[in-house]
Structure 1
C-alpha cells in the first residue's frame, strides 16, 4: 500500500464515465466497483464496465456485496463467476468474512492472479465487543486476507475509543477500520493515525452511512497533514 491514506470511491454502473472524470479531478486514488448495485449482471456487461475503469488508469477494488452486508441478493455461484471474470482488471477483490461458501475461493483467486484480497465485515447496528472484533480480525487473517476491513455502526463515543484502540493493537496488519453513522465520521480520517489504510467517500450519493463527501474528505486529510 502507499505511504499516504488511500481514498476510495464506491461506484455503480450509472453515469460511470462522468463519475470517473470527477474522481480523477478530485485526486481520488481508487474506485470500489459495487457490482452488486449494477443494473445488469451479465458477465459481458460487468467486464465492459471493469475495462472502462482501467481505461481511466484508476486503481480498482471489485466487490459483489452480499445482501446480509448491505448488497444484493445474488447467488454465491453467480458472485464467484463475476469475481473470476473481473479479477483480470481489478487490483483488489473484496469478499465478506460471512460469505463462507466463497470467501476462501475469492482469496485464493486473487493470490493466483497476483492481486490483493480484502476480507470485509459489516455491522450496521452496533460496534461489537472487543473480543468479537478481535475474532473477526483473526478469522480474516486466517483466510489469508491481504487487507482486513471491518465497518461498525458507532452508537457512542466509547465505541470510537474501542474501535481505534483495537485497530492500533492490530496495526501490524493492513486494516480498514470504519465507524459508520454520523458519530463515526471522525474515524474516516482519524483511523489512519491508528493503522487504517483506506477510507471511503462519495460523489453525489453515499453508499454507506457517515461517508464524507469527496472534496470535503480530501480537505480534511490535507488539514491533518495526511495528504499534500
Structure 2
C-alpha cells in the first residue's frame, strides 16, 4: 500500500489535528464534511480495534500522524516498548508523521530510522501533566529534540495558573532553536492556552472529534473557525 505523504515534513503554517482515540472518533472522522489538516491516530487507545482500524484508515481524507503513547506520558493500556514498536511498525505505511516521546527515543530508535528512510516526518514530544517545567528544562528538551532529528517538537504542559501559562508562552516565543514547535496547555487555563498558541503560530493544534478527552481541549470545528477568523482579520 502506498504511504500517504504530507507536502513537507516541516510544515510552514499552523495545522489543525483531529485526534482519533476511540471507534466513535474513527466513525466521526470518516464522515466529516470538513476534515482537519491531519488526523492523529492513537494506537495505544485502539489496540482492541486494530483490524477495523486497518480497514478504515485508508478512507480518512487527511494525512495521518501515528503514535503509540508511552504509559508515563498519557498512554493507554500500559504498553511495553516492544508492543508500541510493533504497533508503530504495523501502521507506518499509512503515516505522514510518527510521534515518539523524548523519553522513548532510545527504545524506539529503529522505528525512527525506518520512518526517516521512508521520508515520514518525525514529531518528538514531551508531556507533563503535573506541572510546567522551568524555561531551562524546556530549552534543554527542545535542544535534545533537535539533536535527535525532529521535524517538529511537541510540548504539552500543565497550565492551571497564569504563571505556568506565561512560562510556556515565553518558551514558545523564544523560538531559539531551528525547529517547528507545537505547544499546548492542559488544565484550568488549557483552553485559553490552546487558543493563544494557535494565534502565535503553534504548528500543530490538536482538537477533539466527538468528545473532549482532556481539560481545555477545543473541537476541530472550533479551531477551524478560529483560523478562518484569524485569516480574515489578518488579510
- Taking structure 1 as the reference length, the TM-score comes to 0.87
CA deviation map 1:56-103 (0-9, x unaligned): 331100000111111121111111111111111111001111124424
Partner residue of 2:14? 5
Question: How far apart are 1:47 and its partner, in Å?
Answer: 6.4
SS, match of residue 103 in structure 2: coil
- Structure 2: segments with no counterpart, 5+ residues: 1-9
Runs of 4+ in 1 over 6 A off after TM superposition: none
Secondary structure of 1:79's partner? helix
Question: How do 1:200-211 and structure 2 match up within 5 A?
Answer: 200-211=206-217
CA offset at residue 155 of structure 1?
2.2
Contact map agreement 2:28 2:210 (CA 8 A) in 1: no
Long gaps (5+) in structure 1: none
Contact 1:33 1:62 in 2 (8 A): yes
Written as runs of structure 1 = structure 2, the 5 A alignment for 1:1-228 is 1-15=10-24, 18-22=27-31, 24-40=32-48, 46=50, 49-50=53-54, 52-72=56-76, 73-170=78-175, 172-225=178-231
Q: Do 1:147 and 1:176's aligned partners in 2 also have CA atoms closer than 8 Å?
A: yes
- Classify 1:218/1:35 alpha carbon distance in 2 versus 1 (closer, same or farther; 3 Å): same
Pairwise CA RMSD:
2.3
> Which structure has more RCO (C-alpha within 8 Å, separation ≥ 6)?
2
Normalised by the length of structure 2, the TM-score is 0.85
Q: Is the 8 A contact 1:107 1:143 kept in 2?
A: no
Structure 1 counterpart of 2:6: none
CA shift digits 1:100-157 (9 cap, x unpaired): 4424333212101110011111001111110011111111111111111010010221
